[in-house]
Amino acid sequence: MTASLTLYMLAASVLAGLGIYGVLIAGHLLRKLLALNLLGMAVLLMLITLGARGTGAPDPVTQAMVITGIIISISATSLALALLLALQRVTDETHLDAEPLPPVGEDGDAAGSR
Amino acid sequence: MSSPLWQALPLYIVLTSLVTAALIFLAGEQRQKLRIVLNMGGALLKLGLIGILLVAVRSGESFVWRLNLMPGIDLVLKTDGLSLLFSTLSAVLWLLTTVYAIGYLERSPNRARFFGFFSLCVASTMGIAAAGNLFTFFIFYEMLTLATWPLVVHRGTSDARAGGRSYLRYTLPGSGVLLAGMIWLYQLTGQQDFIAGGEVADIVLGNENSLRMIFLLLLIGFGVKAALFPLHGWLPRAMVAPAPVSALLHAVAVVKAGAFGIVRLVYDVFGVELVQVLGMDLMLAVAASITIIYGSLLALRQTNLKRRLAYSTVSQVAYIALGAAVAGPLATIGGLVHLVHQGLMKITLFFCAGNYAEALGIKRIDQLDGVGRAMPWTSAAFTIGALGMIGLPPIAGFISKWFLGTGALAAGMPWVVGVLVASTLLNAGYFLPLLRRIWFSAPPPAWPGGEALSRGARLALVVPAVLTALSALGVGIFAGLAASPLGWVQFIVGNEYQ
Amino acid sequence: MQLAPAELLLSLVFAPLLAAIAAVMLGARAGRLLAVMVCLVLAIQLLFLGQRFSADGPFDLALAGIAPPLGIRLALDGLNLLLLWLVTLVYLGTSLHAWASIGAGARGTAFWPPWLLMLSALNGLLLSGDLFTMYIGLEIASLSGISLIALDRKADALRAAMRYLLLAMLGSLVYLLGVAVVYAITGALDFALAGSRLPGGAVTIAALLLMTGGLLLKSAIFPLHGWLPPAHGSAPPPESAVLSALLVKVSLYMLYRIWFWMEVPVAGLVSAGQLLAAMGAGALVYGSIAALRQQQLKYLVAYSTVAQLGYLMLVFALPGAWQGTIYHLLAHGLAKAAMFLAAGNMIWALGSDRLDRLPGLDRHIPASVFAFALAAVSLMGLPPSGGFTAKWLMLTAAWAAQAWVWVLLLLTGSLLTAAYLFRVFALTFAPRSPRRRAQPVRRPHPLMELSALALAMLAIGMGFSGTPLLDVLALPPQLLPGAAPGLPAPLHLTPGAP
Report yes or no: B142 at the C interface, CB cutoff 8 Å. yes
pLDDT of residue A108: 34
CA B194/CA B182 separation, integer angstroms: 13
Give the B:C interface size as CB pairs under 8 Å: 88
Residue C413's alpha-carbon distances to B81, B175, C220, C401, in angstroms, are 38, 13, 18, 19
Report yes or no: B174 at the C interface, CB cutoff 8 Å. no
Residue A54 falls within a domain, yes or no? Answer: yes
Report yes or no: A45 at the C interface, CB cutoff 8 Å. no
Assign A34 to helix, strand or coil: helix
Alpha-helical segments (H) within C401-432: 404-429
Interface test with B, best of C330, C429, C471 (most B CBs within 10 A): C429
Q: Which of C382, C422, C470 sits opposite B142 (nearest CB)?
A: C382
Residue A58 falls within a domain, yes or no? Answer: yes
CB A80 within 8 A of CB A96: no
The four Cα atoms B216, B486, B140, C474 give a dihedral, to 10 degrees, of: 80
Kindly report the CATH number assigned to the domain that includes residue A73. 1.10.287.3510
Helix (H) / strand (E) containing B67: strand B64-70
Q: Which of C399, C412, C430 sits opposite B184 (nearest CB)?
A: C399
Q: How many CA atoms lie within 13 A of C448 on its CB side?
A: 26
Taking 90 as the threshold, does the pLDDT of residue A59 lie above it? Answer: no
CB A29 within 8 A of CB A84: yes
Nearest CA in chain B to C384: B139
Packing angle of the helix pair C322-350, C297-309 (nearest 10 deg): 170
- Residues in C closer than 8 angstroms to B187, CB to CB, are 396, 399-400
CB contact under 8 A, C392 and B73: yes
Give me the residues of B, 54-83, that contact C with CB < 8 A.
67-71, 73, 75
CB C151 within 8 A of CB C111: yes
Closest CA to C306 of C365, C358, C230: C230
CB contact under 8 A, C70 and A64: yes
CA B106/CA C51 separation, integer angstroms: 56
Residue A106 falls within a domain, yes or no? Answer: no
Backbone angles phi, psi at C483, to 5 degrees: -85, 160
CA C467/CA C463 separation, integer angstroms: 10
CB contact under 8 A, C166 and A40: no
Q: Which residue has the higher pLDDT, A112 or B105?
A: B105
The DSSP call for residue C198 is: -
CA C371/CA C196 separation, integer angstroms: 47
Lowest-confidence segment of A96-105, B221-230, B369-378 by average pLDDT = A96-105
Q: Do B and A touch (≥3 CB pairs < 8 Å)?
A: no
Q: Which of A39, A75, A86 sits opposite C158 (nearest CB)?
A: A86
Interface test with C, best of A15, A73, A90 (most C CBs within 10 A): A90
Helix (H) / strand (E) containing B199: none
- CB within 8 Å of B247: residues ≥ 6 apart: B97, B100, B346, B347, B350, B351, B354
- pLDDT tens-digit readout, A74-108: 999 999 999 999 988 888 888 876 544 333 333 33
Report yes or no: A64 at the C interface, CB cutoff 8 Å. yes
Report yes or no: A39 at the C interface, CB cutoff 8 Å. yes
- Residues in B closer than 8 angstroms to C415, CB to CB, are 172-173, 176
Closest CA to B222 of B282, B171, B290: B171
What pairing do the DSSP bridges indicate for beta strands B73-78 and C59-62? unpaired
The four Cα atoms C384, C388, C393, C396 give a dihedral, to 10 degrees, of: -100
The DSSP call for residue A28 is: B
How high is the ipTM of this complex?
0.89
- CB within 8 Å of C314: residues ≥ 6 apart: C277, C280, C321, C324, C325, C394, C398, C406
What domain range is A65 assigned to? Answer: 3-97
CB contact under 8 A, C139 and A72: yes
- Residue C74 β-bridge partners: C61, C128
Nearest CA in chain C to A76: C143
Show which subunits contact A, needing at least 3 CB pairs below 8 angstroms: C
- pLDDT tens-digit readout, C406-463: 999 999 999 999 999 998 988 888 877 766 666 778 888 999 999 999 999 999 999 9
pLDDT of residue C461: 94
CB neighbours of residue B283 within 10 Å: 16
- pLDDT tens-digit readout, B318-354: 888 888 888 788 888 888 888 888 888 888 888 888 8
- CB within 8 Å of C193: residues ≥ 6 apart: C68, C69, C186
Nearest 5°: the CA angle B96, B100, B103 is 150
- Residues in A closer than 8 angstroms to C162, CB to CB, are 29, 80, 83-84, 87, 96
The DSSP call for residue C128 is: B
CB neighbours of residue B52 within 10 Å: 14
Closest CA to C284 of C164, C383, C419, C457: C419
CB B255 within 8 A of CB B320: no
Nearest 5°: the CA angle B350, B166, B117 is 60
CB B419 within 8 A of CB B292: yes
Residue A30 falls within a domain, yes or no? Answer: yes
- Residues in B closer than 8 angstroms to C363, CB to CB, are 29, 109-110, 113
Assign C371 to helix, strand or coil: helix
- CB within 8 Å of C372: residues ≥ 6 apart: C338, C339, C342, C343, C346, C424, C452, C456
CA C59/CA C77 separation, integer angstroms: 8
CB B168 within 8 A of CB C422: yes
Q: Per-residue pLDDT tens, chain C, 498 aa: give them.
A: 455 667 788 889 999 999 999 999 998 999 999 999 999 999 999 998 888 777 776 667 777 667 666 677 788 888 889 999 999 999 999 999 999 999 888 889 999 999 999 999 999 999 988 899 999 999 999 999 999 998 888 888 999 999 999 999 999 999 999 998 888 888 888 887 888 888 878 888 889 999 999 999 999 998 988 899 999 988 999 999 999 999 999 999 999 999 888 877 777 778 888 899 999 999 999 999 999 999 999 999 999 999 999 999 999 988 888 999 999 999 999 999 999 999 999 999 988 888 888 887 877 888 899 999 999 999 999 888 999 999 999 999 999 988 899 999 999 999 999 999 998 988 888 877 766 666 778 888 999 999 999 999 999 999 999 888 888 887 754 444 333 333 333 333 333 333
CB neighbours of residue C477 within 10 Å: 26
Lowest-confidence segment of B144-148, B355-359, C375-379 by average pLDDT = B355-359
Residue type, B173: P
DSSP B125-167: HHHHHHB-BHHHHHHHHHHHHHHHHHHHTTT-SHHHHHHHHHH
Number of domains in chain A: 1
CA C432/CA C360 separation, integer angstroms: 6
CA C236/CA C230 separation, integer angstroms: 12
CB B148 within 8 A of CB B257: no
- CB within 8 Å of C64: residues ≥ 6 apart: C71
CB contact under 8 A, C165 and A83: yes
Strands (E), C234-326: none
Asked if the peptide bond before residue B464 counts as cis, ω within 30 degrees of 0, the response is no
The residue extents of the domains of chain B are 4-496
Interface test with A, best of C130, C151, C152, C169 (most A CBs within 10 A): C169
CB neighbours of residue C463 within 10 Å: 24
CB contact under 8 A, A90 and C158: yes
- Residues in C closer than 8 angstroms to A80, CB to CB, are 162, 165-166, 169
Backbone angles phi, psi at C191, to 5 degrees: -55, -55
pLDDT of residue C87: 96
Residue A12 falls within a domain, yes or no? Answer: yes
CB contact under 8 A, C158 and A100: no
pLDDT of residue C495: 33
CB contact under 8 A, C189 and A61: yes
- Residues in B closer than 8 angstroms to C395, CB to CB, are 179-180, 183
Share of chain B above pLDDT 90, in %: 11
- A68 by Cβ neighbours in 10 Å (0-12 / 13-18 / 19+) ranks as middle
Residue A15 falls within a domain, yes or no? Answer: yes
Dihedral (CA of B45, B51, B55, B56) sign: positive
CA B22/CA B117 separation, integer angstroms: 9
Mean pLDDT over each residue of chain A, to the nearest integer: 79
- Residues in C closer than 8 angstroms to B185, CB to CB, are none
CB B208 within 8 A of CB B120: no
pLDDT of residue B316: 87
CB B50 within 8 A of CB B130: no
Lowest-confidence segment of B101-105, B271-275, C67-71 by average pLDDT = C67-71
- Residues in B closer than 8 angstroms to C385, CB to CB, are none
Lowest-confidence segment of B7-21, B103-117, B220-234, C94-108 by average pLDDT = B103-117
Residue A73 falls within a domain, yes or no? Answer: yes
Chain C residues with at least one Cβ partner in B under 8 Å: 359, 362-363, 366, 370, 377, 382-384, 389, 392-393, 395-396, 399-400, 407, 411-412, 414-415, 418, 422, 425-426, 429-431, 463-464, 466-467, 470
- pLDDT tens-digit readout, C123-169: 999 998 889 999 999 999 999 999 999 888 888 899 999 999 999 99
